[in-house]
Structure formats: structure tokens, C-alpha cells
């Protein structure tokens, strides 16, 4: 039965699967695309058209396929295309950066100087070699001249004519030869005569000139006498030449990645295209590639090792990158001449001279191409994570050095491993501690508590300034001008905690440390407080998610797995191909830096060893003395004098908040009362949950030998509960020994 005659047609057209979509309808049988027409039953005047006719018309339309593709777009005019075109820079990038230009000029000058000195030193050897080789050169000149005068090049023809007994031909050739010998002999004789006369005249003019001519003659003959395989000049610099990158090599390597989209495109034809020529870019080759439709740069980045194998280059030479302002399939492949880990580290720009200003970017490292990478520390926080011995402390040290060279910055440094890696900063740090012992951890906690409180003070100061004079503080943030005003106390504070996992995983401190760090990381930037946390164990226990999620800057050196990677670099980084797991054991100091620019960057932090760091700190110390900003630890004030011996005592305060009718009391009740008694000291404790409050109190009273016990009591709602608490008698006993003076 034909479709026209199908009595169920009208009904079947109303089924959901035949609903018109976007103005078209698809014939399920033939896959044809049909126009959308109002259904007969929904026409404005259905009764005027007989049903039979309606069905016929509609079926007619069904048979007529209509193209759903939009009409071919009008070709844009030259003006439209050109106006949209991407403007290529007049000068290459290195010529636009003052620093890079200066580096290159310096390098060329050094290269020229070195090459000249190298050859100048060897010039006596070169003179001896030329002298030895000059007789051979003379012989070569004589032989060549003789061959030329006596027409040696015509000899094969003459020999051939003799062999073929072609008498006429031979006679003609012999005639040519005689004529040539006559002319060339005369020319050679005259040249020799003129040269001899010239030499005689010049040599008799001055003895020095005679020697010079002799030296030139010997030199020239020596050069002519030099065998092709034994060049006179050795190489002043040896360069290892990396193979050239060609489109063929790139396509072959991409096809070896096992990505089906690429394989299909390559099999069909030119599925991979190159929007720009492959060029030299810094110490390597740069290829811009348009991947086949549907293949993303991430697909390639996550197979970097395979790509390196396909290119037959070491892994540390192969750096695929996305182009953020282009489509997701635009790949920039930079292939270095040398493995990044083997390249000579660039010197830190502030190593020898100069001051830093934390309100501008400070030099942190170099990217794969050796270009400097800076980080804006002000108004940011940073998390550094890595496996042990991969360069975490070294990279942290670069930042601390920069902060030390800004004399207005207060340094708060805690290195909780106890190796003294930051020991050189003692002479400039306001607060400093090194160790994994309880005392150092308590010191680090005191710092966090102080900074947390400082947030409050600064926020009030900033609000007041903003109210009084909006222009001074337009964005409710510390400005360079405000930070220099000592009376306001809004100078930048740079706090760094190396091996922060010691605090965040400590049984007694973890809850409070997490809360304080989270508060500082969230609110600190606007108040001029920068917190940098470094850990060799980036997991949820060592780096609480609330802390890592709020860090603006992240630097992840080699890590073992996806969890650690995402913990430091941010959720989904691994999925997006930002994988610090691909770094090898040799890639020390190399990591992904996120937050410094729009795209993640691969950066090798500047390498500054201990003695070099000491010298820089020495300079920082002199600088700070000049500004009178040597304070706290560096000025000889011990922590015991300032922070550790407060004007109050925890046991005395606890004794004060327990009533005589409370022989046993829950710790959380005490903490709430303490917060009411001294909000500036204990206020942050009250924000903890019940269990954390108990931990907090337990660790605070532990040094007095007071242990906590389980206390049976009633909640405010009247329910009974068994919670941690203390005995009043224990507290009173300890409080008797407190000397409040």
C-alpha cells in the first residue's frame, strides 16, 4: 500500500516521534528532511478543507524533500575579512620584551667576546700551523697554475682524439692548446712580474710592511695547504644540533598517539593542517597545528610521553600547549633543542642587585623556552605541592627571597621539618621557627592566631580609611601608599609555612589550623596578608580542601597521582591535561604554575642554592636596616618575650570561668565562656565544633599537666550526654602556680 492511501497516516503523523523539530520534520523511513507545516488538524479553518484533500496535500509535501542546510553564506568582502584578521606583531616577542632583548644583546656580546678571546689565545698555534702548511700550499698553487697554463682541462679531449685516430680533431685541439699556452703564459708572467714589483716596492718602503706581506703570503699559502678534513680553527663553542621539526614529523608523531579522530583524518587525507609555518622560537621549534575536528589539545597533552616517542625526542623537550584564544583543537607544539631539566638554569634577576616590590610581579622562574615568569604575590595566596626532594623548598625560597628584598614586608616563616632550609632568613624574619617539635608547632599556631586577629584589625582600619577618604582606599584593599604608612600598620605580611601538613594533620591543632588558614587565605589578600603553604603530602588531611580551593596561585612539582595533582592545581586539572604526574625524577624545580596567567604554565623555579641565598639575605638585611624594618625575631626579640608569654594565663582564665558549684564541666562550655571573657584571644575557638573545642582546650592546658576526663552532663535542651571535660580541682591546683606578674 502506498503512503498516500494509508488511512493511519494522519494519526501516525501525530505521534511524538514525528513531532516537527526546528521547523523541519524527518521521514523515518527514508531519513529525508521535510518542511514543517502546521498539521491539518491545527489549521485555522479545518472545516473549510475536506479531510481527503488535506491528507493529499500533506502527503505531497512529505514527498518533496527540502534542504535543511542554510544557504551558502555570502563571501565576505576584502574589507570584512581584513578587519577581522589577526594582526601579527611587527617585532618578534623577544624584541618587544626589554628584559629578553637585553638578555640576547648580552648573550651576543658575550659570545663574540668569548670567541675572539678563544682564537686570540690560540693565534701562535695557528701561525705555526700555517707556516708548516705553507710549502704544501705553494706546491698546490704552482701545480694549479701549471695545469691552467698548459690547458690540463683539454687533455681528456686530446687523448680521446688520439685514441679514435681522429687526426683533424686532434690538430684543432692542439692548435687551441698552443694558443692558450701562449696567452695564459704571457698573462701569468705579467701577473707575476706586477706582483713581484709590488711586493718589492712595498717591502722596501718599510720593514714592518715587508713582514706583514710575508705573514700574509705564508698565511694564504698555509690556508691553501690546509687539508679539507683538518680545519685550522677549532670551535669556541660547541652546539648540540637538534633535529629539524617538519610537518611530516609532526603528523607522524600525532598519528602514533592512538587517537581515532587523528587516525581517520590522516587516512582520509590532510586531516591535520598547519595554520602557520613551523619556525624557530627561542631554543626550539614551534609548530602551530589544527587538529582534526573533534580532537582536542587535551587529548594530545595527556599523551605527551607518546608524542615524545613519536617525535623521537626526550620527554623534557616536548611541550604541547592549547591556544586559549583559539578553538579547542588549535595546538602549539614547542619542541626544545634540549631537555628542560638539563638546560642551564637562568640566573635570578635579583641575585646580584635590586630590590623587590610585592605590589608588582616578582621573578619566580622560567618557562620551557627560557622566558622569565613572574608572580604577583600581593592580593594572592599560594599552595606549593610536590613529592619529597623535587624542589618545593627551593621554589618557596625564591619567593621568600623576593619578599625579603622588599624592605616593607614583614616575614613570618615556619619550616616544620626542622632541617633549617629557611635558616638564612632568621636575620630578616619577624617570626621564624624551624622544627617538628610541639613548641615550634605551637609557635606556628600562634602566628596563625595573630594573623587571624590581624585580619580583624586591618579590616576595621581599612573600613575607617575608606569612610574618611575614599580616594585613599578605592577598592577597600591595602594600597602601596597605605602599606608604607607605619602608623596604620598595613604593611604587607608574607607568611610561609613549609611542610604545613604537620599542622593540618596534627591531632590537637588540625581543626583550629584549618579554620585559621581558611580565614587568612580567604580574607588575607585584601588586607595585605599573603599566606604560602608548602607540603610534600598534598592530600585532604595535609591540605584541607577549604584551604587549597581558595588559593589563587598554585605550583605543583612532580606528584604521584591524580588526587595530589588536583589537590594542588585545582579540581579537574588532571582531566584537562594539566598533569604534574608526567614530570620525571630528573625534573627538579619544574612544575605547573596555575593562577599567574590565564593559562597554566610550565615553570622551572630559579635555582638559588644555600650560599647564594645567604648573600641575598645579607643584602636584604642591609636594605631593611636602612628602612628601619628589622623587627621581631630578627631584632632579637624572642618569641617567649612576645607571643609565648601573654599577659594572661589559660589556667587562670579557665579557673575564672568555672563556678564553685561545677566540680566537673564540659570543655566546650569552658571554651564558650573563655570566648566571652577574652574574645580577642579565644574568640576563634568558639567558632569550632564541640569536639574541636575539646581538643583545643586539651592541648592548651596540657603543658600544665592537666588531663581531660569524660563528664556526664545535660545539654541546654535537657538531654543527657557524655562529653570531654575537666575537673575544677585540677584547674585550681594548676592556677595556684601561675605567676601573673
Ligand X SMILES: Nc1ncnc2c1ncn2[C@@H]1O[C@H](COP(=O)(O)OP(=O)(O)OP(=O)(O)O)[C@@H](O)[C@H]1O
Verify binding: residue 349, ligand X, rule CB under 6 A. Answer: no
Verify binding: residue 558, ligand X, rule CB under 6 A. Answer: no
- What's the per-residue H, E or C state across 17-57? HHCCECCEEECCCCCCEEECCCCHHHCCCHHHCCHHHHHHH
Verify binding: residue 605, ligand X, rule CB under 6 A. Answer: yes
* Cβ 613 to ligand X shortest distance, Å: 11
Verify binding: residue 285, ligand X, rule CB under 6 A. Answer: no
Verify binding: residue 669, ligand X, rule CB under 6 A. Answer: no
* Cβ 356 to ligand X shortest distance, Å: 18
- The Cα 9–Cα 16 span in angstroms is 14
Does residue 389 have a known ligand-binding role?
Answer: yes
The interface region with ligand X, picked from 11-19, 246-254, 392-400, 431-439 by CB under 6 A, is: 392-400
Does residue 391 have a known ligand-binding role?
Answer: yes
Q: Which residue is nearest to ligand X (CB)?
A: 589
Of 31, 34, 23, 29, the C-alpha closest to 60 is 34
Q: Which of 292, 391, 433, 538 binds ligand X (CB under 6 A)?
A: 391
Verify binding: residue 411, ligand X, rule CB under 6 A. Answer: no
Instruction: Please report which helix (H) or strand (E) contains residue 721, including its range.
Output: strand 720-727
Q: Are strands 382-385 and 410-415 parallel, antiparallel or unpaired?
A: unpaired
Does residue 693 have a known ligand-binding role?
Answer: no
- In the Cβ-directed half-sphere of 28, how many Cα atoms lie within 13 Å? 10
Q: Closer CB to ligand X, residue 385 or residue 524?
A: 385
Q: Closer CB to ligand X, residue 574 or residue 607?
A: 607
Verify binding: residue 389, ligand X, rule CB under 6 A. Answer: yes
Verify binding: residue 388, ligand X, rule CB under 6 A. Answer: yes
The interface region with ligand X, picked from 434-442, 604-612, 623-631, 656-664 by CB under 6 A, is: 604-612
- Decide if 512 contacts 520 (C-beta within 8 A): no
Does residue 169 have a known ligand-binding role?
Answer: no
* Cβ 436 to ligand X shortest distance, Å: 12
Verify binding: residue 345, ligand X, rule CB under 6 A. Answer: yes
Q: Closer CB to ligand X, residue 602 or residue 658?
A: 602
Q: Which of 589, 591, 595, 725 binds ligand X (CB under 6 A)?
A: 589
Q: Closer CB to ligand X, residue 392 or residue 724?
A: 392
Verify binding: residue 366, ligand X, rule CB under 6 A. Answer: no
Q: Closer CB to ligand X, residue 369 or residue 604?
A: 604
Does residue 477 have a known ligand-binding role?
Answer: no
* Cβ 392 to ligand X shortest distance, Å: 3
Q: Closer CB to ligand X, residue 506 or residue 588?
A: 588
Does residue 387 have a known ligand-binding role?
Answer: yes
Q: Which of 134, 296, 368, 393 binds ligand X (CB under 6 A)?
A: 393
- The Cα 476–Cα 235 span in angstroms is 61
Verify binding: residue 434, ligand X, rule CB under 6 A. Answer: no
- In the Cβ-directed half-sphere of 333, how many Cα atoms lie within 13 Å? 33
- The Cα 311–Cα 337 span in angstroms is 12
What's the grid cell of residue 62? 512529505
Cα dihedral value 648, 654, 655, 656, nearest 10? 70
Q: Closer CB to ligand X, residue 558 or residue 723?
A: 558
* Cβ 437 to ligand X shortest distance, Å: 17
- The Cα 441–Cα 427 span in angstroms is 21
Which residues 6+ apart lie within 8 Å of 96 measured at CB?
Answer: 89
647 DSSP β-pair partners: none
Instruction: Please report which helix (H) or strand (E) contains residue 364, including its range.
Output: strand 362-367
Chain residues 196-255 in contact with ligand X, contact rule CB under 6 A: none
The interface region with ligand X, picked from 58-66, 118-126, 311-319, 383-391 by CB under 6 A, is: 383-391
* Cβ 242 to ligand X shortest distance, Å: 21
Angle CA(117)–CA(123)–CA(129) in degrees, nearest 5? 145
The interface region with ligand X, picked from 125-133, 181-189, 591-599, 603-611 by CB under 6 A, is: 603-611
Which residues 6+ apart lie within 8 Å of 595 measured at CB?
Answer: 380, 382, 551, 552, 553, 554
Total residues contacting ligand X by CB under 6 A comes to 16
Give the other-Cβ count within 10 Å of 169's Cβ. Answer: 15
- The Cα 219–Cα 233 span in angstroms is 13
Q: Which of 313, 449, 558, 604 binds ligand X (CB under 6 A)?
A: 604
- The Cα 385–Cα 649 span in angstroms is 37
What's the grid cell of residue 681? 584571644
Does residue 664 have a known ligand-binding role?
Answer: no
Q: Closer CB to ligand X, residue 35 or residue 349?
A: 349
The interface region with ligand X, picked from 122-130, 147-155, 253-261, 391-399 by CB under 6 A, is: 391-399
- Decide if 504 contacts 541 (C-beta within 8 A): yes
Verify binding: residue 565, ligand X, rule CB under 6 A. Answer: no
- The Cα 445–Cα 429 span in angstroms is 17
- The Cα 726–Cα 545 span in angstroms is 33
Which residues 6+ apart lie within 8 Å of 230 measured at CB?
Answer: none
Verify binding: residue 555, ligand X, rule CB under 6 A. Answer: no
- Decide if 738 contacts 651 (C-beta within 8 A): yes
* Cβ 237 to ligand X shortest distance, Å: 23
Q: Which residues make up the interface to ligand X (CB under 6 A)?
A: 345, 386, 388-394, 417, 536, 588-589, 604-605, 607
Annotation: binding site: 386-393
Amino acid at each position: 500500500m502506498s503512503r498516500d492511501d494509508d488511512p493511519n497516516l494522519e494519526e501516525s503523523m501525530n505521534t511524538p516521534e514525528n513531532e516537527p523539530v526546528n521547523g523541519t520534520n524527518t521521514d523515518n523511513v527514508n531519513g529525508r528532511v521535510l518542511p514543517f507545516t502546521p498539521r491539518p488538524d491545527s489549521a485555522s479553518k479545518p472545516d473549510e478543507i475536506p479531510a481527503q484533500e488535506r491528507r493529499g496535500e500533506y502527503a505531497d509535501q512529505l514527498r518533496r524533500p527540502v534542504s535543511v542546510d542554510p544557504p551558502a553564506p555570502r563571501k565576505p568582502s576584502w574589507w570584512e575579512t581584513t578587519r577581522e584578521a589577526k594582526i601579527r606583531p611587527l617585532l618578534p616577542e623577544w624584541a618587544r620584551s626589554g628584559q629578553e632583548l637585553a638578555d640576547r644583546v648580552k648573550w651576543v656580546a658575550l659570545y663574540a667576546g668569548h670567541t675572539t678571546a678563544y682564537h686570540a689565545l690560540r693565534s701562535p698555534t695557528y701561525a705555526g700551523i700555517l707556516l708548516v702548511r705553507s710549502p704544501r700550499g705553494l706546491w698546490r698553487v704552482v701545480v694549479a697554475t701549471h695545469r691552467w697554463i698548459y690547458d690540463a682541462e683539454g687533455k681528456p679531449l686530446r687523448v680521446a682524439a688520439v685514441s679514435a685516430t681522429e687526426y683533424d680533431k686532434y690538430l684543432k685541439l692542439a692548435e687551441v692548446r698552443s694558443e692558450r699556452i701562449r696567452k695564459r703564459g704571457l698573462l701569468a708572467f705579467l701577473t707575476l712580474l706586477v706582483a713581484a714589483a709590488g711586493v718589492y716596492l712595498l717591502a722596501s718602503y718599510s720593514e714592518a710592511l715587508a713582514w706583514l706581506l710575508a705573514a700574509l703570503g705564508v698565511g694564504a699559502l698555509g690556508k691553501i695547504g690546509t687539508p679539507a678534513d683538518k680545519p685550522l680553527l677549532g670551535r669556541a663553542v660547541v652546539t648540540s644540533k637538534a633535529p629539524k621539526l617538519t610537518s611530516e614529523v609532526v603528523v607522524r608523531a600525532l598519528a602514533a598517539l592512538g587517537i581515532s579522530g587523528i587516525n581517520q583524518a590522516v587516512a582520509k587525507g590532510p586531516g591535520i593542517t598547519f595554520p602557520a609555518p613551523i619556525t624557530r622560537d627561542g631554543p626550539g621549534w614551534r609548530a602551530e597545528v589544527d587538529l582534526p575536528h573533534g580532537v582536542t589539545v587535551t587529548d594530545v597533552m595527556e599523551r605527551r610521553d607518546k608524542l615524545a616517542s613519536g617525535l623521537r625526542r626526550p620527554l623534557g623537550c616536548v611541550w604541547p600547549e592549547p591556544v586559549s584564544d583559539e578553538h579547542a583543537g588549535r595546538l602549539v607544539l614547542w619542541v626544545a633543542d634540549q631537555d628542560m631539566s638539563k638546560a642551564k638554569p637562568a640566573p635570578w634577576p635579583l641575585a646580584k642587585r635590586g630590590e623587590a616590590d610585592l605590589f608588582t610581579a616578582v621573578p619566580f622562574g622560567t618557562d620551557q623556552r627560557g622566558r622569565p615568569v613572574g608572580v604577583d604575590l600581593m592580593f594572592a595566596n599560594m599552595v606549593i605541592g610536590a613529592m619529597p626532594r623535587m624542589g618545593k623548598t627551593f621554589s618557596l625560597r625564591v619567593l621568600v627571597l623576593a619578599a625579603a628584598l622588599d624592605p616593607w614586608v614583614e616575614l613570618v616563616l615556619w619550616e616544620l621539618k626542622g632541617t633549617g632550609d629557611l635558616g638564612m632568613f632568621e636575620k630578616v624574619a619577624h617570626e621564624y621557627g624551624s622544627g617538628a617539635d610541639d613548641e615550634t608547632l605551637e609557635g606556628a599556631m600562634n602566628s596563625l592566631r595573630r594573623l587571624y586577629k590581624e585580619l580583624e584589625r586591618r579590616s576595621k582600619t581599612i573600613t575607617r580609611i575608606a569612610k574618611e577618604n575614599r580616594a585613599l582606599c578605592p577598592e577597600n584593599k591595602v594600597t602601596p601608599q597605605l602599606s608604607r604608612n607605619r602608623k596604620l600598620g598595613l604593611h604587607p605580611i608574607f607568611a610561609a609555612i613549609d611542610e604545613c601538613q604537620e599542622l593540618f594533620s596534627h591531632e590537637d591543632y588540625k581543626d583550629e589550623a584549618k579554620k585559621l588558614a581558611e580565614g587568612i587565605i580567604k580574607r588575607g589578600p585584601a588586607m595585605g596578608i599573603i599566606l604560602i603553604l608548602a607540603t610534600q603530602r598534598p592530600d585532604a588531611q595535609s591540605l584541607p580542601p577549604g584551604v587549597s580551593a581558595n588559593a589563587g596561585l598554585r605550583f605543583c612539582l612532580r606528584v604521584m597521582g591524580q588526587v595530589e595533582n588536583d589537590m594542588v592545581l585545582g579540581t579537574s586539572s588532571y582531566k584537562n591535561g594539566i598533569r604534574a604526574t608526567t614530570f620525571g625524577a630528573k625534573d627538579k624545580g619544574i612544575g605547573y604554575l596555575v593562577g599567574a596567567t590565564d593559562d597554566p604554565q610550565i615553570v622551572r623555579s630559579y635555582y638559588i642554592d644555600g650560599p647564594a641565598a645567604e648573600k641575598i639575605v645579607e643584602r636584604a638585611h642591609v636594605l631593611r636596616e636602612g628602612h628601619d624594618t628589622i623587627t621581631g625575631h630578627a631584632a632579637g626579640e624572642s618569641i617567649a618575650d612576645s607571643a609565648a608569654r601573654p599577659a594572661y594565663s589559660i589556667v587562670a582564665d579557665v579557673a575564672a570561668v568555672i563556678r564553685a558549684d561545677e566540680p566537673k564541666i564540659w570543655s566546650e562550655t569552658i571554651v564558650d565562656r573563655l570566648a566571652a571573657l577574652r574574645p580577642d584571644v579565644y574568640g576563634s575557638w568558639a567558632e569550632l565544633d564541640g569536639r574541636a573545642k575539646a581538643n583545643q582546650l586539651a592541648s592548651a592546658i596540657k603543658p600544665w599537666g592537666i588531663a581531660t576526663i569524660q563528664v556526664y552532663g545535660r545539654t541546654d535542651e535537657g538531654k543527657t550526654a557524655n562529653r570531654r571535660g575537666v575537673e575544677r580541682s585540677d584547674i585550681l591546683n594548676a592556677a595556684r602556680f601561675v605567676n601573673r606578674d
